[in-house]
Structure 1
Amino acid sequence: MNKSSHKSPNKTQVNSRTLGRTGLSVSEVGLGCWQLGGDFGPVSAATAEAVIEQAVKEGINFFDTADVYGNGISEQYLGKILNKLAPEAVIATKYGRAAGTYPDGYSLTDLRDSVRRAQDRLQRDCIDLLQLHCVPEQVLAARHIFDWLREVQQEGLINAFGASVETHKEAEICLEHSDLQSLQIIFNLLRQRPIEALFDRALAQQVGIIVRLPLASGMLSGKFSKDTAFAATDHRNYNKDGEAFSVGETFSGIAFNQGLEIVDILKQSVPEGMTMAQFAMRWILDHDAVTTIIPGASSAFQVTQNASVSQLPVIDKTTHQRLFAYYESAIEQHIRCPL
């Protein structure tokens, strides 16, 4: 297996930011690899490889995955492609949602075994960043799981650890640990509360913010309509009301038709020359607390479109203020999950 040297790729399109206190320079637009596991509908090996290869071409060097994305398939794709094209790329994977682990099977042995399996799939001797994967609040509060993370870190199995969380309370629990390097959260135009609830503390503690679902499962692409249909295997179909896991992970917790109405209003703020999707992602990157966004992609073209956001101009302060006011008055009340 290869050890990552973390040299910056010779690319200029995507700007970089430092991840927490790790010293790792990561592209501010990364690649979210949930999609490559098939949870948004079937993805062929050829498509998955083309997406990863295009990300490398665009200068993206941060890849977010998990052991449960396609039961390890997403990690395997990354290991196969990045080992050849970009062994210096930073890979963040996760622990905590696999069968037998979630909701009450957590232990040091289980964690260590999960990391070793991930190393095999990723073809890495050391995991760059291991994130707790939406672990139940009571498990986080018990604190043992953080001691186990430190132990596997001391063993050289992981370089750094962070947490992917569902709620602000979970984020606060994680921030009690001074060696936490990152928090992965849902943050987008439909979920703006972290601006006031989280960002100042994260900046003060130098904890990197990784933003998942920047387009709210595609809702903020502006391309959906009431006639849009999703594959039976797509979580936007089987989890639209939270039947399988937190509804917050699908359309950011807002009912589909309600989301369409909100997006129609948000489109009025999109500057000339930007698409709705570009505007939504540029808005996120305007926040200093954010280290990187991890949009998914189902084609090489989408990767290029996402990467281009890094070079778009900052959105003016007045627009930011107007969007937050609209969030407080007309969006937040429709979110169907704990914040």
Structure 2
Amino acid sequence: MQKRQLGPNGPHVSAIGLGAMSFGGLFGPTDEGESFACLDAMLEVGIDFIDTANIYGMGVSETVLGKWLASRKPQVVIATKASFVADPVRRVDNSEAHLRAELEASLRRMGRDHVELFYIHRREAARPLEEVIGTLSRLIEEGKIGGYGLSEVAPYTLRAAHAIHPCRAVQNEYSLWTRQPELGLIQDCARLGVAFVPFSPLARGMLGDTALPQPTDGFRAANPRFTEPNFSANTQKINGFRAFCAARGWSVPATALAWVLSRGPHLIPIPGTRHAAHLRQWAQAVQITLSPEDLAEIERILPVGFAEGARYGDPQLLAIERYC
């Protein structure tokens, strides 16, 4: 597995990481044995970077990881996040008291005394950025975290935060059907030496070898891109990409990840799965080299802005910074 650096003075990690959201049951019932098999397969293919969060299953994902870490004792790099408060209504809290308490709880669940990367899951707009970065800087000084990250932020927040204390990584949605980070965020990460970590690089399951059935429940069922008429239109367009991949003997998810990797050496995508077979399939992305002709054809089939429907519905936009 190729390696890429996780931000300024950060560790070198596998070019592809593993998103652990589904270990918490957010995309259907989760099974500990299945999750362990997926994590074992992750090590087999050379992936050593795991991304989780305190709210994935309200601690379930981190608990599963903790049990697996204790039984396998692997050399892996872990990122986790905090900021969301679910009760009584969902809100964002970047206070020092909240971030410290949630980090300590995450460390207990995972059986660790530190994590290599700790994100604020969303920025709390009303709280001064200097205060938030000050908290994260102290956690670094205390050895609780190796570096801090920002999630779903705009370029101006990255620039301001990095000027206070160097940021290790920015995590935003990025894939063939979500290209907003190309409007300055990917470029600023490169200029500052910050890793850009695309989540949902496989378009929330749309970029698979077979067409995804229209979701009827959960997050995707309320997402504009998965409701009609958008869902059918998006499926039809992606079918053209499937034909492109099949003609070259490449799997669709591996090709989609190869495209993300081609966007810059500082990109470290974190596709999510709890299925070992899926992981082994998309991990083949590092074996695909897209030629200029391939990239031009992909752009013709799935041009920037091809997706119909917003990437989030209005109720899903809590604390997401917009910059276009």
Range into which the TM-score falls when normalised by the shorter chain: 0.7 to 0.9
Alignment of 1:75-86 (within 5 A): 75-86=62-73
Structure 1: which amino acid aligns with 2:80? T
Asked if 1:240 is matched to 2:223, the reply is: yes
1:133 and 2:121 are equivalent in the alignment:
yes
**How much does 1:121 deviate?**
0.7
Counterpart in 1 of 2:133?
A: 146
Where does residue 83 of structure 2 map in the other structure? 96
**Which of these residues, 173, 189, 194, is aligned with residue 176 of structure 2?**
189
Deviations 1:169-203 (A, max 9, x none): 65555455441110111111101242352222211
Show the counterpart of 1:211. Answer: 198
Corresponding residue for residue 186 of structure 2: 199
Secondary structure of 1:335 counterpart: coil
Q: 1:153 to 1:322 in 2, by over 3 A?
A: same
Distance 1:236 1:273 in 2: 29
2:257 alignment partner, SS class: helix
Q: Deviations over 1:61-91 (max 9, x none)?
A: 0000000001111011111112332442000
What is the TM-score of this pair, normalised by structure 2?
A: 0.85
Could you tell me whether the CA contact under 8 Å between 2:130 and 2:161 is conserved in 1?
no
Match of 2:316 in 1: none
1:112 corresponding residue in structure 2 = 100
What aligned pairs does 1:63-74 form with structure 2 within 5 A after superposition?
63-74=50-61
**Which string of whole-angstrom CA distances, capped at 9 and with x for unpartnered residues, describes residues 76-107 of structure 1?**
11111123324420000001123259525431
1:27: how far off? 0.7
Q: Which amino acid aligns with 1:235?
A: F
5+ unaligned residues in a row in structure 1: which ranges? Answer: 1-13, 242-249
**Cα distance change of structure 1 residues 198 and 123 upon mapping to structure 2, 3 Å threshold:** same
Once the two structures are superposed, what CA deviation does each residue of 1:104-155 show, in whole Å capped at 9, x if it has no partner?
543111111111101101111111100111234x147643211111122222
Query: What is the alpha-carbon root mean square deviation over aligned residues?
Result: 2.7
| Letter matched to residue 231 of structure 2 | F
Distance across 2 between alignment mates of 1:332 and 1:197: 20
Is 2:263 aligned against 1:275? Answer: no
- Count of paired positions: 310
Q: Is the 8 A contact 2:92 2:123 kept in 1?
A: no
Asked whether the 8 Å contact 1:199–1:289 carries over to 2, the reply is no
From the superposition, tell whether residues 32 and 187 of structure 1 become closer, same or farther in structure 2 (CA, over 3 Å): same
Counterpart CA distance in 2 for 1:329 and 1:65 is 29
Match of 2:279 among 303, 308, 312: 303
Contact 1:29 1:306 in 2 (8 A): no
After TM superposition, give the deviation of residue 32 of structure 1 in Å.
Answer: 0.5
SS at match of 1:63: strand
Cα displacement (A) at 1:326: 6.0
Letter in 2 for 1:48: S
- Unmatched segments (≥5 aa) in structure 2: 313-321
CA distance in 2, matches of 1:119, 1:80: 12
1:36, distance to aligned residue in structure 2 (A): 0.7
Amino acid at match of 2:133: F
Matching residue's letter, 1:125:
D
